[in-house]
């Protein structure tokens, strides 16, 4: 039996397994909280996106968004699977190159790139720096002059289309901080032409947000970009070589519909994420091939993060305390993993399916409230603000108790990469199950000694 339709998850001996390995055993061995990932699933996801889009538009390149899960091993797996890379900082660029990506396979995004970051992008001859503003274009030209090397760029435009996803993860409207308004783009193209020795505009880019679950949001944004580009082509004879539609491919987060009764319909819809990659690919390619075919030879770029790693990892934690709140008639369990391990829950009111990994065949029908260990009222796995974005109760086996392992599924995206040491808690380790079934420590579970890294004593 698969869990949540994720092929690498299965059940054996009442335990959750990933790629045939016992999650409970791995957690017992390495300690919790712990992220456990599947090399096979990451590889399959890269290939699935590539193949889905290449079926409809052969000249498609998938640039994995490194920020979703930035472990060196994950970057290496994406590289070995034939993926390219999207980075958002000099640090991610550094790690990407350490993982084996060549500059020509890297795209660099960001709203506040430093001169040093721009310089390293230019020196490493990356495929494109996605320019965020007219000012930044000038900064890139000046840096290119100093480096005596031409910079490749895409212009990030604001399509002003809402993705319909929770506020805080929308990135394609005028309210957000990202990109350049269309009306500024012609002047940027003129400026680039005047400085063509130092800058080559290779095309246009947008990214409207994560977990974009309406096909219309992708299509409306693309329509804005293509209509604009078609006009620019007419007026300035500038034809983009690359059209980069960003990331945001959604994944389904639900085991079943029980959570729907506790959640706002729009949030529930968003987290169901039923839109398939194939549907998006077919519709996007259809649009790209319209417009009298002027864009049919363009390279189509995607920057998926969540879709590549989201369902490839589980996060396992252990129940460390329990209580019954008589006044509220509520049962609570307290885990060793809180928002220090998975800050997306607090930041974006995200929902992750949870199962009791060591009692997985027992009926999960007993409502409990679940909290993390931090000295923070908001460190709970439910909607603390009372907006009903998240379910208040999670369904667990009636026997759930201290010492049980709770696995949170589909925690591969924006989990490990947003961990912190808040409350003096060492960061969780990351174990990857290799394709041959062996376990690889991608990131060692931290110790108390790691809490002192880079700190100095004034007493000694
Ligand atoms: C510019 C850009 N590209 C790609 C992504 C990846 O998005 P996702 O993980 O939803 O695919 C992000 C994430 O926010 C982004 O900001």
**Strand, helix or coil at 38?**
strand
Alpha carbon nearest to ligand 1 atom 12, residue? 247
Confidence (pLDDT) at 2: 55
CATH of domain 9-38+310-452: 2.40.37.10
pLDDT category, 256, cuts 50, 70, 90? low
How far CA 155 is from CA of 110, 190, 193, 294, in Å, comes to 12, 13, 14, 19
**Strand, helix or coil at 94?**
helix
- Return the best residue to mutate from 207, 252, 347 for the ligand 1 pocket (most ligand atoms within 8 A of CB): 207
Alpha-carbon distance of 309 to 411, in angstroms, equals 8
Ligand 1 nearest atom to the CA of residue 306, by list position:
9
CB 307, CB 29: distance < 8 Å = no
Which residues in 172-188 are b (16+ Cβ under 10 Å) and which e?
Answer: bbeebebbbebeebeeb
Q: Residues near ligand 1 with C-beta < 6 Å?
A: 65, 68, 86, 109, 171, 207, 210-211, 246-249, 303-307, 413
Ligand 1 nearest atom to the CA of residue 305, by list position:
9
All CATH 2.40.37.10 domain ranges in the chain, comma separated? 9-38+310-452
pLDDT category, 168, cuts 50, 70, 90? low
All CATH 3.20.20.10 domain ranges in the chain, comma separated? 109-304
Alpha-carbon distance of 128 to 255, in angstroms, equals 39
Instruction: Select from 48, 4, 10 the least CA-distant residue to 304.
Output: 48
| pLDDT above 70 for 437 | yes
Question: What spacing in Å lies between the alpha carbon of 248 and ligand 1's midpoint?
Answer: 6
Token readout for 71 is: 């472990």
- pLDDT tens-digit map of 291-339: 889 999 999 999 999 999 999 999 999 999 999 999 999 999 999 999 9
Domain 109-304 in CATH 3.20.20.10: yes
pLDDT category, 161, cuts 50, 70, 90? confident
DSSP string, 395-424: EE-TT--TT-EEEEES--SSSGGG---GGG
Question: What spacing in Å lies between the alpha carbon of 279 and ligand 1's midpoint?
Answer: 19
Question: What spacing in Å lies between the alpha carbon of 165 and ligand 1's midpoint?
Answer: 13
Ligand 1 nearest atom to the CA of residue 68, by list position:
9
Question: What spacing in Å lies between the alpha carbon of 334 and ligand 1's midpoint?
Answer: 32
Alpha carbon nearest to ligand 1 atom 13, residue? 210
- Return the best residue to mutate from 248, 252, 275, 413 for the ligand 1 pocket (most ligand atoms within 8 A of CB): 248
Confidence (pLDDT) at 255: 63
CB 141, CB 206: distance < 8 Å = no
Token readout for 235 is: 């007026």
- Return the best residue to mutate from 89, 303, 304, 310 for the ligand 1 pocket (most ligand atoms within 8 A of CB): 303
Alpha carbon nearest to ligand 1 atom 7, residue? 247
Please list the active-site residues.
375
Mean predicted confidence (pLDDT) in 242-261 = 83
Mean predicted confidence (pLDDT) in 275-291 = 95
Confidence (pLDDT) at 384: 79
CB atoms within 10 A of CB 152: 24
Which residues in 63-86 are b (16+ Cβ under 10 Å) and which e?
Answer: bbbbbbbbbebbbbbbbebebbbb
Ligand 1 nearest atom to the CA of residue 109, by list position:
1
- pLDDT tens-digit map of 22-76: 999 999 999 999 999 999 999 999 999 999 999 999 999 999 999 999 999 999 9
Question: What spacing in Å lies between the alpha carbon of 179 and ligand 1's midpoint?
Answer: 14
Question: What spacing in Å lies between the alpha carbon of 303 and ligand 1's midpoint?
Answer: 6
Mean predicted confidence (pLDDT) in 233-256 = 92
- pLDDT tens-digit map of 370-387: 999 999 999 999 887 777
Ligand 1 nearest atom to the CA of residue 310, by list position:
9
pLDDT category, 1, cuts 50, 70, 90? very low
């Amino acid at each position: 039996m698969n869990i949540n339709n994720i092929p690498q998850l299965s059940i054996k001996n009442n335990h959750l397994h990933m790629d045939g390995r016992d999650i409970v055993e791995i957690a017992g061995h390495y300690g919790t909280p712990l992220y456990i990932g599947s090399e096979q699933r990451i590889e399959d996801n890269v290939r699935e996106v590539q193949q889905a889009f290449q079926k409809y538009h052969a000249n498609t390149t998938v640039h994995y968004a490194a920020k979703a899960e930035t472990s060196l091993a994950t970057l290496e797996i994406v590289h070995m699977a034939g993926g390219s890379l999207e980075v958002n900082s000099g640090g991610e660029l550094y790690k990407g190159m350490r993982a084996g990506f060549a500059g020509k396979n890297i795209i660099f995004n960001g709203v506040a790139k430093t001169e040093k970051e721009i310089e390293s992008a230019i020196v490493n001859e990356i495929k494109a720096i996605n320019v965020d503003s007219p000012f930044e274009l000038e900064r890139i030209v000046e840096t290119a002059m100093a480096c005596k090397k031409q910079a490749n760029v895409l212009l990030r435009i604001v399509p002003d289309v809402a993705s319909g996803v929770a506020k805080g993860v929308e990135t394609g409207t005028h309210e957000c901080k990202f990109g350049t308004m269309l009306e500024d783009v012609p002047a940027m193209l003129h400026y680039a032409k005047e400085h063509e020795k130092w800058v080559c505009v290779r095309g246009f880019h947008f990214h409207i947000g994560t977990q974009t679950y309406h096909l219309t949001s992708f299509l409306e944004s693309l329509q804005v970009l293509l209509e604009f580009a078609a006009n620019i082509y007419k007026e300035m004879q500038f034809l983009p070589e690359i059209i980069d539609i960003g990331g945001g491919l959604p994944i389904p987060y639900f085991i079943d519909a029980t959570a729907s009764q506790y959640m706002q319909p729009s949030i529930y819809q968003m987290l169901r994420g039923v839109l398939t990659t194939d549907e998006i690919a077919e519709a996007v390619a259809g649009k790209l091939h319209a417009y009298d075919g002027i864009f049919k030879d363009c390279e189509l770029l995607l920057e998926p993060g969540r879709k590549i790693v989201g369902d490839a990892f589980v996060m396992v934690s252990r129940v460390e305390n329990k209580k019954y709140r008589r006044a509220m008639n509520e049962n609570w369990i307290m885990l060793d993993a809180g928002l220090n391990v998975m800050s997306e829950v607090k930041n974006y009111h995200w929902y992750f399916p949870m199962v009791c990994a060591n009692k997985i065949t027992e009926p999960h029908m007993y409502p409990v409230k679940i909290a993390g260990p931090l000295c923070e009222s908001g460190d709970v796995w439910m909607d603390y603000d009372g907006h009903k974005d998240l379910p208040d109760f999670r369904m667990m086996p009636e026997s759930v108790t201290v010492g049980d392992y709770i696995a949170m599924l589909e925690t591969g995206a924006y989990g490990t990469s947003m961990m912190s040491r808040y409350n003096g808690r060492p960061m969780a380790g990351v174990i990857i199950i290799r394709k041959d079934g062996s376990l690889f420590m991608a990131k060692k579970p931290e110790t108390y000694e790691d809490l002192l890294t880079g700190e100095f004593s004034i007493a000694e």
